[in-house]
Structure 1
Amino acid sequence: AIEILLHTDLDILLYTDVGMDPLTQTLAYSRFAPLQVATWGHPSTTGSSMIDYFVTSENLEDVTSETHYTEKLLYLNNLGLDYERPQFHAATDVRSQLGLPADVRLYGCPQTLYKFHPQFDAILARILEEDPTSELVLIEGRVAEWTHRLRRRFRRTLPCGGRQVRFLAPLPRQDFMSLLATVDVLLDPPFFGGGNSSIEAVAVGTPVVTMEGPFLRSRITSALYRELHLEDLIAADDKAYCQQATRIARDFDYQAELRERILAAAGKWFVLTEGSRQFAAGLLEMVSESK
């Protein structure tokens, strides 16, 4: 990869997700083009003086954002995405197929386990205390020790020693989509939220309760909801987060109304092409200004 980059006469080099792979993490500390740019495929600054700009969105940042990056920020007024709608074929009797109880309210948080900040436990505990016959559905970690550690922590921090928490083995794509569709509500971890999973949830119409933090990694779902004009699903604080989650799970009419609104918004959002055009225009403007 280094040889190819060194012998290619680039005007600009775009890294889509520095930090998601050791190779891109290493490459980002070298200079291969006059202008080097990163974006939020990995939702954090690269920390590298070799990366000149970070392409982000106005809805992904707050007033303190300039202090979170070593790069200069290029703000788009949308997420910069043209996202192909995930293919999903609704199955019958999904709960039975996934080993889930048929008559229990399900709160889903099928996120990578390193996103479960210890302070999230208090929010989960409050939800489970207010809905004591419900279950919280998670996905086991790629490394077994991650799951063991989180189970041990939940035994200390959640009601009834964490017995309302159900871990599923990692699922094939269609089964994962079925899980997103069958839970009553999805919980976005406040300190490091979902990205693709939130977009997939929109595709199947399941509400995701989210709460914005100061960093990009906690603002992807809220930015998506702002584009979809679903701002009322963005909780202002921990209390509102818990209230919204339990209301959606318990009030089936309200849940059905939200699902209908989400699917209607999704039908418009997934066919938009403005995101990629604006992203490309931003890159071209950078190159033009650098010459």
Structure 2
Amino acid sequence: MMIEAEDLRPDLCTVNASNINVIIFPDWSQSEESLGLDLERVIKIVNNLPYNNLIILFIDSNNISKDIANLVLSGVVMNLLMTDDSDSSMGCEISLLENLDVCEWELFTSEIHARIILTQENQEVLVYSQADNLPAYTIEEFSEIELSQLILGLGNKLFQRKQWQAAIAQYKKLLDLQVDNLEIYWNLIHCYRNSNLTDEYYQTLDQAIALYPTEGSLHFSLIIDLRRNGCIKEAIASAEKACNLMPDDYTFKILKYLTVPSIYNTEDEIYFYRQRYIQGLKDLIAQTSLHTPEEKSNALAGIGRLTNFYLSYQAQNDRDLQSQYGQLVHGIMAANYPQWVVPLSMPNLQPQQRIRIGYVSHFLHSYSGTLWLTGWLRYCNHEHFEIYCYYTGNDPDPVTQKFQEYSDVFHHIPYNLPGVCEQIIADNLHILVFPEIGMDPQTMQVAGLRLAPVQCVAWGHPVTTGLPTIDYFLSSELMEPENAQEHYAEKLIRLPNIGVSYPKPYIPPIIKTRSDFQLADDAVIYLCCQAPFKYLPQYDFIFAEIARRVPHAKFVFLRGTLLQQRLKDAFAAVDLNSEDYCVFLSIPERLDYLMINLLSDVYLDTFTWSGGNTTLEAIACNLPIVTSPGEFMRGRHSDSFLKMLGVIDTIAENPTEYIDIAVKLGLNPTWRSNIAEQMSQRHHLLFDDQTCVAGLEAFYKQVIEEYCQ
């Protein structure tokens, strides 16, 4: 037996990523005999493991002098050397550990594969070192443990603590040992994604798919992330490959036929992929069979994983396509739940009885598509209406508490489609309202059923659903153009003003400077904070034209990394370098996001699909907004907000005027300050609007009267 007892180093230099690091926390105050027995058992068991030459056994020696610790260990080692007849060419290494501070412990424990639990331990150091975060084993458990189990245990602990790089090192060890396990690949993939190691992420996904070719979740992640990262051709090819490997998986049929880009490189691409979608939808409908139980459940699972979210960012009238898709969803839901698609009669409304209104959403928490709903509930006339909320997600936060507070009945039923439907039916509602349809797959499934006599959708996702089970689209008087009904399969209801009662956001005082975000004080900061899929290529020239006329312009994109090549081309067209003008920041924390709004000079709205929540928060920060209303309601949010404020000088009729206004705001700080001051004086006209709530409730009463008649 070869135990390196003479090398008792009280520092961290022995920690090596290639070792298997084990630690114990003996109670040095116990009797020498008891202590010696504990140490002997541990060292003997460690040394008897077949991979003992890889192990470093760290022994915590706090609360005892180094000399005494050495003396005790030397005695234990000598006793083992004299009594143990095992192979002397094999042996673990032992190292004492003492006097680590909190930061050193945190660093050190990220490399520890196991803590062996002793009969008597130093409880004070256990707490101080946060040893509960370590994979822990009894002596008996450790005596039978496999090398791969130790490495996986540490890897998973690091994974749970979101220490991505450290977890990657452990998972790679396992792959080097040729331990192929789906969990290892999944966790490693997740680590690479969270570390923004894109190449490694895709390489590992490919390796996993090669080993597990019919593991649908791997293909699904690959396809979705390829599309998200702008690799649309690769995404479609991967969808076709997955469809060939798993022909009965309806998810991949949807992805094969209906995948469209998240961003487009040219305007011609929009036309190409729209035509591809049109044909793909026809093919998908033609190939959808719902005759057998397996076909029904497969189709149900498929539409439960996806929505056709990106289609509407092509800036076209989607009514016909959405109606075709809505009929498909409804047919699948009817095949699986025939009891929940039959028409329902309106419940009788007795004198003094309140109208029962239900709101169902995956997003009854702090989320841009449903924050406004708190205003509808807060200002509800509870003498006439009884409010039921159904929260189908599972990320509760303080906003969830607001929904609960403003409801008469609040149900939290996460990820349980039949459970949600049964509860809604049991509550015998008069009207069921979906704040959004199109963001969450399960919400789309529920909306494809008939769970109340009247069913409505609001503009949390501002596109027609196409579902035959949705009767009304609750929109905004200020947002809709004259011909708006042509854009909806549902009957359009134009509620007063912007249609929703948005609570005024809390805006903190300015506690940061531009230098905190590496932005110059003399720059004219144009905030471009929309998601990349809202920026269509035909409008890229606008940024370059503004930069050509505002030399100190800086365009701050918070989510626009995918747009870099397009912007480079647009700036080059006017002999400018986009890198001199465009700044790409990652999405910051909430406080930093608001700081960037407060430190910016101008907010540039997107064409065809304008800002909603982002614009309202910019208004709360008194940030001047340049916008131009689009053809459809989804491109007219900011326009309606500014009209409700009565601050309309920064609304443009076309791209040319948009550029002129943006340039004037950039070069004329006096006018910019005047616009900001006007906004600050008129917040009360926009936020917490109760007129729209009165209009909503008048609509509810009218519908009930019509059905009763």
Do these two structures clear the TM 0.5 threshold for a shared fold by scoring above it? yes
- Is the aligned partner of 1:162 residue 2:578? yes
- 228-237 or 159-168, which moves further after superposition? 159-168
Task: Give runs of aligned pairs for residues 236-275 of structure 1, distance below 5 A.
Answer: 236-275=653-692
Deviation at 1:283, TM superposition (A): 2.1
Residue number in structure 1 paired with 2:347:
none
- Contact kept in structure 2, 1:28 and 1:46, CA below 8 Å: no
Question: Which shifted more, 255-264 or 49-58?
Answer: 49-58
Give the Cα separation in 2 of the matches to 1:267 and 1:95.
Answer: 29
Q: In structure 2, what residue type is equivalent to 1:83?
A: Y
Partners of 2:686 and 2:569 in 1: CA distance = 42
Distance 1:77 1:270 in 2: 14
Question: Which structure 1 segments of 5+ residues have no match?
Answer: 142-146
**How much has 1:127 moved relative to structure 2?**
1.2
Pick from 639, 647, 650: which aligns with 1:222? 639
Moved more, 214-223 or 96-105: 96-105
Q: Using the alignment, how far apart are the partners of 2:517 and 2:707 within structure 1? A: 54
What is residue 182 of structure 1 aligned with on the other side? 599
Q: Could you report, residue by residue, the CA deviation over 1:189-232 in whole angstroms, capped at 9, with x for unpaired residues? A: 01111001111111111111000111111101111111111222
**1:233 positional shift:** 1.9
Q: Which amino acid aligns with 1:158?
A: F
Displacement over 6 Å in runs of 4+: none
| Pair 1:106 & 2:525 matched | yes
Asked if the contact 2:665–2:672 (Cα under 8 Å) also holds between the matched residues in 1, the reply is: yes
Partner of 1:49: 468
User: Secondary structure of the equivalent of 1:59?
Assistant: coil
Name the CA distance, whole Å, in 2 between partners of 1:150 and 1:77.
37
Q: Which residue does the alignment assign to 1:134?
A: 553
Q: Which moved more, 1:58-67 or 1:262-271?
A: 262-271
Choose from 150, 171, 184 the match for 2:563.
150
TM-superposition CA deviations, 1:166-193 (whole Å, max 9, x none): 1111111221111112111001101111
Partners of 2:658 and 2:680 in 1: CA distance? 22
Conserved? CA contact 1:184–1:249, under 8 Å: yes
* 1:5 CA drift (Å): 2.5
1:27 aligned to 2:443?
A: no
Distance 1:273 1:249 in 2: 35
Structure 2 letter corresponding to 1:33 = A
CA contact (8 A) 2:602 2:665 kept: yes
For 1:208 and 1:248, the matched residues in 2 are separated by 9
Query: For 1:117-159, what per-residue CA distance to the aligned partner results, in whole angstroms no more than 9, with x for missing partners?
Result: 1112022221122223311001136xxxxx3x31122222234
> Is 2:703 the partner of 1:286?
yes
Is 1:213–2:630 an aligned residue pair?
yes
2: CA distance, partners of 1:37 / 1:271: 22
- What is the one-letter code of the residue matched to 1:269? L
Q: Which has the higher contact order (CA 8 A, sep 6+)?
A: 1
CA distance in 1, matches of 2:549, 2:453: 56
Distance 1:273 1:231, change over 3 A: same
Letter in 1 for 2:588: L
Q: Contact 1:37 / 1:51 at 8 angstroms: preserved in 2?
A: yes
The match for 1:87 is: 506
Letter in 2 for 1:26: Q
Per the TM alignment, residue 63 of structure 1 is displaced from its structure 2 partner at its CA by: 1.9
Residues 647, 675 of structure 2: 8 Å contact kept: no
DSSP 3-state at the match of 2:634: helix
Instruction: Tell me if 1:234 matches 2:658.
Output: no
Output the amino acid matched with 2:680: L
Q: Structure 2 CA distance, aligned partners of 1:161 and 1:25?
A: 44
In structure 2, do the counterparts of structure 1 residues 98 and 82 end up closer, same or farther at CA, with 3 Å as the change threshold? same
Map of 1:15 onto structure 2:
434
Residue 613 (structure 2) pairs with residue 196 (structure 1) = yes
Cα contact 2:558–2:584 (8 A) shared by 1: yes
Residue equivalent to 1:173 = 590
Q: Which has the larger radius of gyration?
A: 2
- Asked if 2 retains the 8 angstrom alpha-carbon contact of 1:187 and 1:210, the reply is yes
Gaps spanning 5+ residues in structure 2: where? 1-419
Distance in 2, matches of 1:288 and 1:200, equals: 38
- CA 1:71/1:268 → structure 2, altered by over 3 Å: closer, same or farther? closer
- Maintained 8 Å contact 1:125/1:158: yes
Query: Matched residues in 1 for 2:539 and 2:513: separation?
Result: 28
In structure 2, distance between residues paired with 1:63 and 1:205? 30
Q: Deviations over 1:39-73 (max 9, x none)?
A: 11111111111111001122111122111110101
Deviation of residue 277 (structure 1)? 2.2
Q: For 2:687 and 2:538, locate their aligned partners in 1 and report how far apart those are by CA, in whole Å.
A: 34
Shift of 1:268: 4.0
Pick aligned residue for 2:493 from 62, 74, 79: 74
User: Partners of 2:634 and 2:571 in 1: how far apart?
Assistant: 25
**Corresponding letter in the other structure for 2:504:** R
1-structure distance, mates of 2:667, 2:633 = 31
Deviation at 1:106, TM superposition (A): 0.8
1:144 matched residue in structure 2: none
Q: Contact 1:65–1:214 at 8 Å: present in 2 too?
A: no
Structure 2 counterpart SS, 1:56: strand
Q: Could you give the per-residue CA deviations for residues 256-277 of structure 1, whole angstroms, max 9, x where no partner exists?
A: 1000000001144335422222
Tell me the secondary structure at the aligned position of residue 692 of structure 2: helix
Q: Give the distance between the partners of 2:701 and 2:435, measured in 1 at CA.
A: 16
Structure 1 counterpart of 2:484:
65
| 1:125 to 1:283, Cα distance in 2 relative to 1, 3 A | farther
Identity between Structure 1 and Structure 2 (%): 31
Corresponding residue SS for 2:504: coil
